[in-house]
Structure 1
Amino acid sequence: MLYQLKKLRSRAATAENKQAEVGAGGKANNGRKGSPCLENVKPGETHVLLDSKGPGMVRHIWCTLPPGNVQHMRNVIIRMYWDDQKQPSVEVPIGDFFGIAHGRQRNLVSDLIYMQEGKGFNCWIPMPFKKAARITIENDSDSDVPLFFYQIDFTLDDEIDEDTGYFHAQFRRANPCPIHEDFTVLDGVKGKGVYLGTVLGVRSLYTESWWGEGEFKFFIDGDTAFPTICGTGAEDYMGSAWGLEPTVTPYQGAPLVENDNGLYSIYRFHVKDPIYFQEDLKITVQQIGFGDTASAKRHYGEEFVHYRAAGTTIESDTSYFERSDDYCSTAYWYQTLPTAPFPKFPNQVQRSDDLLEENNQKVERSDI
């Protein structure tokens, strides 16, 4: 409760106060905004944004960089390490972490992550740590990031008990995901935890039909062939129906819907319906579409497999059918440590191929 006067210490790490020291904020240029950001972050450089001993709680992350650069949004990588674990618990491109796939910047305001006006990136997900917290960014693009502003707000002396989970986030991409295979959002998670949410990006490779009939499946605590939780379709998972229109809500939405070029980014946060697991967790989404059966058969040829669509017969002109599209995802969850090793992080080419560059936007003076 905000009105409870807890014995906590508030701190903030910024470019002017990298160590979040007491009474050391804004000292550059005699306190006249002398060093508000990291400048000219070179390709291959990694910068430490937070390095603090615990116990404590990261409560808010804000950052921004000049807008309109698709390559930077997909190739500036944010990583987080808890309690001196060598392997990161978070490893995600910055744009995907803050809720928009495909390197795009769109207005997104949810309960947990914001891409305010597409330019101000905010994360309100609580991130507790017992011994230490370390957050870094790496420029894994081929060009300088001219300006990177950030502020990480955290507290010290929080009570962290044995039932407290550590925040995790993981990025994956399959371009394309092979036909007849489900896209894996998350796998290999071991331990006790709670699943928090998903950002899913899809680049439709067959735009003459609807891509989103695939079911989200949650395999929990030893599930094998069939999951404990199974949804009814991709747009259904994020609370919509009968296709997608651009929308944002506190817990679910579709901030990016571009039917002409087949780009979609959707999100779903399980704030009020968390998914608990005691031993392990795996999450997949099927690649199933809906549309004209004859056209899909011509498109997919020998790979074509179709099913009766709800409300029709197998002889109908329309049906469900297997697809192959470009999928990416960011999964967010809490779990106990140690973290099972993540899959090998996609390299720059694997992350960036076929992103359909947008025109660069001008940097607003207010960002400087």
Structure 2
Amino acid sequence: MKTCNILRPLALLCLMLNVMSAYSQNKYRWTDELALLRSIDRLPEYRSGCLIEQFSSYDRTWGNDDGFSGKYSYLRKEDGKLVIAEMKGAGVINRIWTPTPNDNMLCFYFDGKKDPGLRIRFSDLFSGKVFPFVKPVCGNEVGGYYCYLPITYAKSCKIVMEGEGLQFIQIQYRQLPGTKVETYDGTFTDADKALLNDVCNTWAATSPQADTYSNGRSAGTTVSEKTITLKPGDEVTCFESNVPGRITGIEIDGGTAFEGPDKNIILSARWDDDKTEAICAPMADFFGYAYGRPAMRNILMGRSGYTNYCYLPMPYDKSAQLKLIYRRTEGTQQPPVSVRVKIHHNTTARDAKTEGKFYSSWRRTRTPLGEYHTFLNTKGKGHYVGTILLAQGLRSGMTTFFEGDDSTYVDGRMRMHGTGSEDYFNGGWYALLDRWDRGHSMPIHGCLDYSLQMSRTGGYRFFISDKLTFDKEIFHGIEHGDVNNSYPVDYTSLAFYYSDTAPDSRMQPAGDLLKEYQPGRHTFYPQLMEITPDGDIQINNDRGLRISTGNSGNLRILLNDIPEGRYKLYMSYHETSAGTGFQIWQRQKLITDWRESHNDTDTYREDVYMGEIELTAQDNSITVHIAKNDNGNSLIVGTVTLERM
């Protein structure tokens, strides 16, 4: 009897330990979120009730103080410190972004505890110096600093900055109601480290392959290949299936056929009995080209070599059909196009209870003043996974249309409000050297193009672990201009999402919508001018481009990206007490004879007419010649502007 009495407590203790162990194993860890950053096969899965929300420094008065002053960069002060985010309930932080990191300490207080569970310099979230905040899951480029390392919490999380200085910030998190979440504690098993290394290798791939994502429901694929010759007016089926399954990869090699100002070749896809196409977009736009050139190359979509690829899984219930359509342009001679198509697919049917179908929304609009540009406005159940945007300003000058904030309304409430358009794409500081100043591709985001003189830019961003869930409806859009949608812009966008509901209708890419807009006026700003000095001159940035000489010298200014033609040439410059004379040449041709920039009173001369020039692909520069005289030895150039004749 005594033996039995002793064994019973021991048996009960063992049972309790087993239960606790099972409970622990069933907990949702930060590594479960981490795995999603490579589990592209799971993108179609629904997440009911797990809504993405965001703390950000956006101007609550709908102005443009989205972080400049720091007024809206925190919730409140506690003991001289800044509370910048506070989440209640189980959840996970998926993304932290800023273009203005500092070395102040960040403290993450989990589950109401008095001591921080994570304490780290703000800058070290992105530096790659502190494990597990490593590159490329964390890092910086195109002016923005980003962190996609997931941070989980069981009950709550409060983020506090030890310091008074904070500007632009976005902290994106997801609620995990009803989930047994294990709070991030900074301890790592060998398996944790191996998983992180695997995710980093996936993100670092420069030439993505379909096989990388052949896991789970995307496993067991076969490849259907076809070579097609398209003639203007043709509509050719390149893949068709009449059995349930999913497409796991699209690879299309068309050489340079999709490049250029005309986007006449369309990709179309339709699932099951849907009345509306799931995809209907110009090939160039769908694969992230920018203004006639390939520009996007990330882990999911883009162009590598001559292969245009998309590895977003596309499940269907009964049937699938992909077509290539070659739109005819009247009055234009269009050559036939040879295209090699590879479709990776399997016979794993969509689970209608747990997965949505893939859809994309292509839109090109000269968005009316006062209205948002809409990426997606739809009803149903699903989640948003990606955006491609091309933004062409309709007037010359600084690209202030990219001051516009993104907004996301889900199921009747605003969930996210951004701080600027390049911020939305994890970038920052457009028109500044080595920031948002040219195209650059990152694993899931990037800049597609930036040209001040053409008044255009573009970006892309994919939402993987942080896909935007909606149970009833979603509006996702972006402003154009710093306030009140006040800047005229020609927007082309693609929204990628999964849903249980096909779109009722869609914009059809045809006619003038397939032609790139060509501005008639182009302005070059000093900070991004491509210049070559010659002779006795010195150059610095002083209210513009200051050219100084001890005797005489030349400065050549390249006029790149501008269409060929005849233009009127204007230049803005400062008249100063140290100003001297200058001439403008186009190679060996004198455009402007000696002009004086000396004035006892500092005066800014804006858009002064200098003459006419002819631009060709070979003759696309001007040269400013200055010489020291009795009045001074310098010239401060503001802007150079070309106006098509």
Alpha-carbon separation, structure 2, partners of 1:268 and 1:48: 30
1:231, distance to aligned residue in structure 2 (A): 0.8
Alpha-carbon separation, structure 2, partners of 1:263 and 1:183: 16
Partner of 1:180: 370
Partner of 1:82: 271
Residue type matched to 1:265 in 2?
Answer: G
Alpha-carbon separation, structure 1, partners of 2:417 and 2:298: 24
| 1:111 corresponds to which of 299, 304, 307 | 299
1:341 aligns with 2:504: yes
Q: 1:7 to 1:214 in 2, by over 3 A?
A: closer
8 Å CA contact 1:68–1:105 kept in 2: the answer is no
Q: 1:355 to 1:43 in 2, by over 3 A?
A: farther
Residue type matched to 1:345 in 2?
Answer: Q
Partner of 1:219: 409
Partner of 2:473: 280
Q: 1:282 to 1:144 in 2, by over 3 A?
A: farther
Q: 1:59 to 1:259 in 2, by over 3 A?
A: same
Residue type matched to 1:93 in 2?
Answer: P
1:54, distance to aligned residue in structure 2 (A): 3.0
Q: 1:92 to 1:196 in 2, by over 3 A?
A: same
Partner of 1:255: 448
Alpha-carbon separation, structure 2, partners of 1:99 and 1:179: 26
Residue type matched to 1:182 in 2?
Answer: Y
- CA offset digits 1:69-100 (Å, max 9, x no partner): 54686221111111232321111111111122
| 1:164 corresponds to which of 351, 355, 359 | 355
1:235, distance to aligned residue in structure 2 (A): 0.2
| 1:126 corresponds to which of 313, 330, 341 | 313
8 Å CA contact 2:441–2:447 kept in 1: the answer is yes
Residue type matched to 2:394 in 1?
Answer: L
1:1-368 matches, within 5 Å, as: 10-15=221-226, 37-39=227-229, 41-67=230-256, 70=259, 74-106=263-295, 108-117=296-305, 119-142=306-329, 143-158=334-349, 160-174=351-365, 176-187=366-377, 189-210=378-399, 211-223=401-413, 227-243=414-430, 244-245=436-437, 246-289=439-482, 322-337=486-501, 339-354=502-517
Alpha-carbon separation, structure 2, partners of 1:209 and 1:120: 34
Partner of 2:544: none
Q: Greater shift after overlay, 73-82 or 341-350?
A: 341-350
8 Å CA contact 2:276–2:506 kept in 1: the answer is no
Alpha-carbon separation, structure 1, partners of 2:363 and 2:350: 33
Alpha-carbon separation, structure 1, partners of 2:238 and 2:262: 17
Partner of 2:124: none
- CA offset digits 1:143-175 (Å, max 9, x no partner): 24421111111111356341111000111111x
Partner of 1:365: none
Q: 1:240 to 1:160 in 2, by over 3 A?
A: same
Q: 1:354 to 1:222 in 2, by over 3 A?
A: same
Q: What CA RMSD, in Å, does the superposition of the two structures yield over aligned residues?
A: 2.7
1:182, distance to aligned residue in structure 2 (A): 1.6
8 Å CA contact 2:225–2:343 kept in 1: the answer is yes
8 Å CA contact 1:101–1:200 kept in 2: the answer is no
Partner of 1:295: none
8 Å CA contact 1:96–1:103 kept in 2: the answer is no
Alpha-carbon separation, structure 1, partners of 2:487 and 2:443: 31
1:68, distance to aligned residue in structure 2 (A): 6.2
1:270, distance to aligned residue in structure 2 (A): 0.7
* SS at structure 1 position matched to 2:293: coil
8 Å CA contact 2:374–2:476 kept in 1: the answer is yes
1:355, distance to aligned residue in structure 2 (A): 5.3
Higher RCO (Cα < 8 Å, 6 or more apart): 1
Alpha-carbon separation, structure 2, partners of 1:147 and 1:242: 41
8 Å CA contact 1:71–1:141 kept in 2: the answer is no
1:259, distance to aligned residue in structure 2 (A): 2.2
| Structure label with greater radius of gyration | 2
Q: Greater shift after overlay, 158-167 or 67-76?
A: 67-76
Alpha-carbon separation, structure 1, partners of 2:486 and 2:228: 46
Tell me the matched-pair count: 300
Q: 1:132 to 1:101 in 2, by over 3 A?
A: same
Q: Percent identity?
A: 23
* SS at structure 2 position matched to 1:228: strand
Alpha-carbon separation, structure 2, partners of 1:265 and 1:7: 31
* SS at structure 1 position matched to 2:449: strand
TM-score by length of 2: 0.43
Residue type matched to 1:38 in 2?
Answer: I
8 Å CA contact 2:233–2:326 kept in 1: the answer is yes
Q: Greater shift after overlay, 65-74 or 214-223?
A: 65-74
1:113, distance to aligned residue in structure 2 (A): 0.2
Q: 1:268 to 1:5 in 2, by over 3 A?
A: closer
8 Å CA contact 1:100–1:265 kept in 2: the answer is no
Alpha-carbon separation, structure 2, partners of 1:7 and 1:105: 27
8 Å CA contact 2:397–2:455 kept in 1: the answer is no
Q: 1:286 to 1:13 in 2, by over 3 A?
A: same
* SS at structure 2 position matched to 1:322: coil
Alpha-carbon separation, structure 2, partners of 1:5 and 1:186: 29
- CA offset digits 1:320-355 (Å, max 9, x no partner): x82111111001000003x13123414221231525
Alpha-carbon separation, structure 2, partners of 1:133 and 1:42: 24
8 Å CA contact 2:410–2:475 kept in 1: the answer is yes
Residue type matched to 1:287 in 2?
Answer: H
Gaps of 5+ in 2: 1-38, 40-212, 431-435, 520-561, 565-645
Gaps of 5+ in 1: 16-36, 290-305, 308-320, 360-368
Partner of 1:22: none
Alpha-carbon separation, structure 1, partners of 2:261 and 2:246: 28
